[in-house]
Every structure is written in structure tokens, then in C-alpha cells.
A and B are shown apart, each in its own frame.
Chain A
Amino acid sequence: MDLDMSINAPHSMGTTIIGVTYNGGVVLGADSRTSTGMYVANRASDKITQLTDNVYVCRSGSAADSQIVSDYVRYFLHQHTIQLGQPATVKVAANLIRLISYNNKNMLETGLIVGGWDKYEGGKIYGIPLGGTLIEQPFAIGGSGSSYLYGFFDQEWKEGMTKDEAEKLVVKAVSLAIARDGASGGVVRTVIINSEGVTRNFYPGDKLPLWHEELEPQNSLLDILNAPEPMNT
């Protein structure tokens, strides 16, 4: 593939983004790597952006495109909230994102996951991939790292998890994707949204579980090679 690998290439967020509903709200999670070609432009970026007090969006794809779309929707939602006299619903936020994504599909390259909590529907996740489809899902994954997570979620996802179970699942999934996807890396950020409000969490490398070849070998045959001969002093 003929990619421009210089440092002047447009910023892309290789990315792994996840949104998961649980019993009472949603958990959004993302990695923190922004790359321009092979260079990591930002190793601690925040890909989970606020739209309103109760709705956040995970961004993937072109950094510029996803930022602009978020900015427009934040502006529209702000006006809508004033007009309505109460917080906007997650569905409305997702629909506004979808309209911009769909109507400008020729120019934009961004996949988004909208997640939040409102008093009518509770916690909701909406996936809005590249072409501008809007799909409400119990959980959604996106970004280049998500390819490695489809099977994982098929096995591990269950309905009606607790807040802690959901967050653990998200952190585990992002760290698995980081381990296998070169375009994802850095730290894991999570945002939990429920009726009580919003909580941001941050998991640096040393807090993340290690996977497979990252671990010290245990019970490896190599140990026997270096072990002393039996019956020797």
C-alpha cells in the first residue's frame, strides 16, 4: 500500500474505541495513540470527547475530521438544550452526528461511537461507522484495533453487567487490542456515564494486564536447560 509515511502526513488515530452498556449506564473506553504515518504524534491523546454533560463520543479515523464533527454537534446540542429546557437525549446527539457523517461522506473519514445516559432511555450506545449509518447497540467497537476484538466480545459480552464488570471488560479489551494493533497504544482511558454523573479513569501501562509473549516465561523448558544437574552439590 502506498502510504505517505512522512511526519507531514495527516494525523490519523489508528485507535481502538469501545462503548458498552451496563445495568444503569455506559462505559466508554479508548487507547491514546495518534499517529502520522509511522510517527506517534501524540502518545497520550484523549479520544473520548464531551458533547454534553451526559453524552460523550469516542473518535476514530482522521483526527481532524472527528474533531470538527464533534465540535459542530456540541454546538448544535448546546442550542438544542437551551431550546428544550432540559438535557438532550443520547439519541438526538447520535442523530446529529449521523446527519453530518452521512451528508459529508465524500469528504469525511471518521468512525464514532456515541454513548451517554438520559432519563428516558437510560444508558445507550450508538455506533456511527464510516458511511454514516446509525445503529443502536448494547456494545460497539471501532477503530483499527477493533478487528482483534470481535471474537473476544462474542465470548465475553453479557447483558446486565455491573459497573465494575463493564469497566474491567473495556480495559481488558483495549489492552488486548493495543497488544496486537500497531496503530493503537499508550494508555487506556475510560469514561463512565450514569444517572449520578460522569467519571473519568486513566490506566497507564503498569496498571494494564500483560498478555502472552509479554509475560516472563513460566514453567518453560528453558528453565530445565539452565537448572543444575540433579544430585550435584
Chain B
Amino acid sequence: MSSIGTGYDLSVTTFSPDGRVFQIEYAAKAVDNSGTVIGIKCKDGIVMGVEKLIASKMMLPGSNRRIHSVHRHSGMAVAGLAADGRQIVARAKSEATNYESVYGEPIPVKELAERVASYVHLCTLYWWLRPFGCGIILGGYDRDGPQLYMVEPSGISYKYFGAAIGKGKQAAKTEIEKLKLSEMTCREGVIEVAKIIYKVHDEAKDKAFELEMSWVCDESKQQHQKVPNDLLEEAKAAARTALEEMDAD
């Protein structure tokens, strides 16, 4: 599956003979080992969900948040090394407030994604820095409507209508492709995201997990916020039922 880059993988400023930078690829592995993170773009907004793997039973539910608000209108879900993710979120918040103080309007989501990607890429250019070990799903709602971006450790960023990173990303992507996103509202999207996360969670390998979800849509008045508790519970219940039905087959 993976090739060993003996000798060419010691520094992020070294290319291998076949044109790869191994350090960046290894950074991406850190993302692949983390809990699944999904984002979808529905017709009236964005929904993001995180499979937060619980390391210890003694952790308080609701702590160690993986989804952060960057600005009133946008939020970021982080997969991979959590500490690295905090750094990126801090930078994104700073870029957003700086943009608004200079230009007098909230930062367009496209611009925010470009700035975050640029920052992540910056750390792949110098030997004294290491690449960020996290993947970011950035969702926002600006005057051009809802938009979803994904930023990888290499610094590339693309716009998506459905994205998944982490352990279960392959399975999650397959499930997302089955959805008719352009006809779905965010309310429905929340249920679907919950179902997908429950489905791709591997009971055997990982024990408990907590589902964390956020949205930014017309219903939330284009503000990024945690999905309201009642809807969250409804989604979890629907997801558990769907799982049981699957197991019953």
C-alpha cells in the first residue's frame, strides 16, 4: 500500500526521485488515523459531523471539541492531531477578523479557505517546520450562498458538496455519494450525517465515540452553531435505528 521512502523522507524540503514529498504524505497518514469527519452541502446550508473517539470513560461529554467556529458565518471541523488543529483554527479566526477590519465585510468563505490553505502550505516549505498533521473541513455561508471546502496537510484546498476525512472516509464518501444533496434541507442533512457516522464507526477496533455536529444554514440564520440538542438527539436515535435495521438483515 505505502512505499518506503528510505532516505528521501527525512525532511519536508526533500523530493524523492519520483517527485513525491514523503513527509507530507506521512502527515496525511496522521489524518487517516483519526476519527471520521464529514461535511455536506445541502440546498440551504452546510452540515458537519465528527466521530469523536473517546480515549477514556472519565472524559466529560462535550469536552475536547473538534468543531470550531471561525467567524459568525463559518466553522471548521478538524481531523488528525488536535493540537495542530487548534493552531490552524486560531490562524483562521485571526484572518477572518483582520479581513473584516480592513475591508468592512465578513470574509468570503472562498477567501478564508485560500488563506487557511496558504498557511498550511507555508509549513511545508521550510525544514525547520513540520507539516500540520490535520485535515480541515471548512463550511461557511456568505453572500454567495453556502460553501464547503476541504484543506489537506499538503496545503491544497478544493470546494466540495460532500467531503470526508479520517478512518472511515472511503465508506463515508460512498454513503455521501448516494445522497441527493441538492434537494436536501439541512434538517434532513443532520439526520443523514449522523446515520453515516454511526455506520462507518468500527465497533471492533474503536470503543466508544461521541457524535459532534454543527451547521450553518438558513434555519440558523446563516450563523455557525452546534446543532440544537433536540435535533441532535433525534439524529442519534434515527442513526441507531438505522444501524439496528441493518444488523437485523
A interface residues (Cβ-Cβ under 8 A, vs B): 80, 83-85, 89, 91-92, 94-96, 98-99, 120, 134
CB nearest to A99 among chain B residues: B102
A95 touches B111 (CB 8 A): no
Which residues of B sit under 8 angstroms from A80, Cβ to Cβ?
Answer: 103
Q: Which residues of B contact A83 (CB under 8 A)?
A: 111
Q: Is B183 an interface residue (CB 8 A)?
A: no
| Residues of chain A with a CB closer than 8 A to B102's CB | 95-96, 99
In the complex, B104 has a CB within 8 A of chain A:
yes
Of the residues A84, A94, A120, contact of B104 by C-beta under 8 Å: A94
For the complex, what is the distance from the CA of A192 to the CA of B127, rounded to whole Å?
55
Q: Once the chains bind, are A120 and B103 in contact (CB under 8 Å)?
A: no
Q: How far is the CA of A207 from the CA of B43 in the complex (A)?
A: 54
Query: What is the minimal beta-carbon distance from A207 to any residue of chain B, in angstroms?
Result: 38
> What's the tally of chain B residues with a CB closer than 8 Å to chain A?
8
Q: Are A91 and B105 in contact (CB under 8 A)?
A: yes
Minimum C-beta distance from A83 to chain B (A): 7
CA distance A229 to B124 in the complex (A): 103
- B residues contacting A by CB (< 8 A) are 102-105, 108, 110-111, 143
A89 x B105 contact (CB < 8 A): yes
Closest chain A CB from B204 CB (angstroms): 47
Q: Which residue of A lies closest to B100 (CB)?
A: A95
Bound complex: CA A134 to CA B104 (Å): 10
| In the complex, chain B residues whose CB is within 8 Å of the CB of A92 | 103-105
Q: Which of B103, B105, B110, B111 has the most CB of A within 10 A?
A: B103
On chain B, the residues within 8 Å of A99 by CB distance are 102
Closest 5 pairs (CB-CB, A-B): A95-B104, A92-B103, A120-B143, A91-B104, A91-B105
Q: How far is the CB of A127 from chain B (nearest CB, A)?
A: 15
A84 to B99: give the CA distance in the assembly, Å: 12
- Contact between chains at B105 and A84 (CB < 8 Å): no
A225 to chain B minimum Cβ distance, whole angstroms, is 65
What is the CA–CA distance of A120 and B143 in the complex, to the nearest angstrom?
7
B159 to chain A, nearest CB (A): 12
Smallest CB separation, A116 vs chain B (Å)? 14
Nearest CB to that of A92 among chain B residues? B103
Complex interface: chain A residues within 8 A of B105 (CB):
89, 91-92, 95
Among A84, A96, A98, the residue within 8 A (CB) of B108 is: A84
The complex places the Cα of A91 from the Cα of B143 at a distance, in Å, of 13
**A96 to B104 CA separation, bound complex (whole angstroms):** 8
Given A84-B108, A84-B111, are A95 and B143 neighbors across the interface (CB < 8 Å)?
A: no
Report Cα–Cα, A95/B106, bound state, in Å.
Answer: 12
Give A41 to B104 CA distance when docked, in angstroms: 37
Measured CA separation A94–B110 after assembly (Å):
22
With both chains docked as a complex, state the minimum distance between the C-beta of A22 and any C-beta of chain B, in angstroms: 23
Closest residue of chain A to B142 (Cβ to Cβ) is A120
Output the least CB separation between B13 and chain A (Å).
Answer: 28
Tell me, in angstroms, the Cα distance from A83 to B113 when the chains sit together: 12
CA of A85 to CA of B109, assembled, Å: 13
8 A-B residue pairings within 8 Å (CB atoms):
A83-B111, A84-B110, A89-B105, A92-B104, A95-B102, A95-B103, A96-B102, A120-B143
**Further pairs besides A83-B111, A94-B104, A95-B105: 16, Cβ < 8 Å:** A80-B103, A84-B108, A84-B110, A85-B110, A89-B105, A91-B104, A91-B105, A92-B104, A92-B105, A95-B102, A95-B103, A95-B104, A96-B102, A96-B103, A98-B104, A134-B104
> Which residues of the other chain, A, contact B110 by a CB distance below 8 angstroms?
84-85
